Amino acid sequence: MSDQLIIAGRSFNSRLLVGTGKFSSNAAMVDAMERSGSDIVTVALRRVDVDNPADDMLSHIDRNRYLLLPNTSGARNAEEAVRLARLARAAGCEPWIKLEVTPDPYYLLPDPIETLKAAEILVKEGFYVLPYINADPVLAKHLQEAGTVTVMPLGAPIGSNKGVRTREQIAIIIQQAIVPVVVDAGLGAPSHAAEAMEMGADAVLVNTALAVARDPGAMAEAFKKGVEAGREAYLAGLGEQRDTAEASSPLTGFLRN
Amino acid sequence: MNVTVNGEMHKIEDGTDLAQLLKQMELNADCVAVECNLDVVEREAFSSTPLSEGDTLEIVSFVGGG
């Protein structure tokens, strides 16, 4: 029986979503994407530098292989996020949008109120909305009621590489979710990704950890294995944690004098 | 006439349409998305969108991001 990731009725083989930011080159980015085994890659939208238009990075991404998931990074409020989503769709993307509203540049924490506002508008306009949020179970419920196709709680601030620092809250979100939960942001190591998957997350999204690695392609492979290991462990049924010891061999029949 | 593109003022000839403007700026219409006065302009409508004095344009393209 296949264990595919299903978002908005669409199936994906990989539970590792990857971002395309911060790579030292397009070649490094493509290498990481390919070796991650990912099916979904995120991109951002920025003003063209009219004096110095850059190379079209999309030309390096095989649209038949990957679902392009544009994000609304840079948006400081709902209005800017909605404008970015509409621009992404006009640029030829399928109407999938990673909703990201981060007014504070130091911690890049998502604004819950503006995110919910934007989500409601975008869902009504026919977008498949994947909202990036702090690990707030109440907010997650509101967004699901508004019709988002996932919730994407952060493990730690974007690019911090700190791992799953919001564990208890994410556990609640996973328990209560009626859509896939994608742990997104702050994952710095494959063990972090495995931890999220062991908790029952449906997928994870990783960007910085790959881009800043000494060998992004190798790191992408390591993350692929981490996600698979975590998922398999979750499905295999992890043992409970306990405070006292429980022997692995019988407590009778010991060799004695 | 004057139009604002990505926050900067540009002087263009009267009667220029959006497709022509992109061409003049050496931008590939297939690689950008455009907003005119806060409304998205569909790609098919670039050549049928005349520009007016004071129009504010945002021209964006895809970059890497998480």
CATH of domain B2-60: 3.10.20.30
Residue range A178-182: average pLDDT? 98
Query: What are the residues whose beta carbons fall under 8 Å from the beta carbon of A98, sequence distance 6 or more?
Result: A42, A69, A70, A71, A72, A130, A131, A132, A152
What is the torsion angle, in degrees rounded to the nearest 10, for the CA atoms of residue A115, residue A120, residue A121 and residue A124? Answer: 150
Rg of chain A over all Cα atoms, to the nearest angstrom: 20
The per-residue pLDDT for B20 is: 96
Q: Is the pLDDT of residue A74 over 60?
A: yes
What single DSSP character describes residue B20? H
Which helix (DSSP H) or strand (DSSP E) does residue A227 occupy? helix A216-236
Instruction: Identify whether A199 is part of a domain.
Output: yes
pLDDT higher than 80, residue A1: no
Residues in chain B, pLDDT under 70: none
A33-55 per-position pLDDT tens digit: 999 999 999 999 999 998 888 78
Annotation marks residue A225 as catalytic: no
Average pLDDT for A107-118: 98
For B60, which of A47, A58, A205 is closest by C-beta distance?
A47
Please tell me whether residue A60 adopts helix, strand or coil conformation: helix
Separation in Å, CA of A43 to nearest CA in chain B: 5
Share of chain A above pLDDT 70, in %: 100
Considering the entire predicted model, what is its pTM? 0.95
Residue A256 belongs to some domain of the structure: no
Task: Give the number of domains in chain A.
Answer: 1
Supply the range of the domain harboring residue A165.
5-236
- Provide the pLDDT for residue A56: 86
In a domain, A217, yes or no: yes
CA B38 vs CA A16, A119, B18: distances in Å: 35, 19, 15
Cβ pair B66:A90 closer than 8 A: no
- B25 → closest Cβ in A50, A57, A158: A50
CATH number at residue A118: 3.20.20.70
Evaluate whether A151 touches A113 at the Cβ level (below 8 Å).
Answer: no
pLDDT at residue A63, rounded to an integer:
94
Domain boundaries, chain B: 2-60
Residue-wise pLDDT tens digits, A212-251: 999 999 999 999 999 999 999 999 999 999 999 999 999 8
Does the pLDDT of residue A162 top 60, yes or no? yes
Overall average pLDDT of the A139-165 stretch: 98
Average pLDDT of chain A, as a whole number: 96
**CB proximity A239 to B under 8 Å:** no
Q: With an 8 Å Cβ cutoff, are B60 and A92 in contact?
A: no
- Among A98, A117, A141, A225, the active-site one is A98
- Gap between the Cα atoms of A85 and B17, Å rounded: 24
Confidence at residue A55, expressed as pLDDT on a 0 to 100 scale: 81
Q: Is residue A121 situated within a structural domain? A: yes
B31/A87 Cβ within 8 A: no
Q: What is the ipTM of this complex?
A: 0.95
Q: Above 70 in pLDDT, residue A192?
A: yes
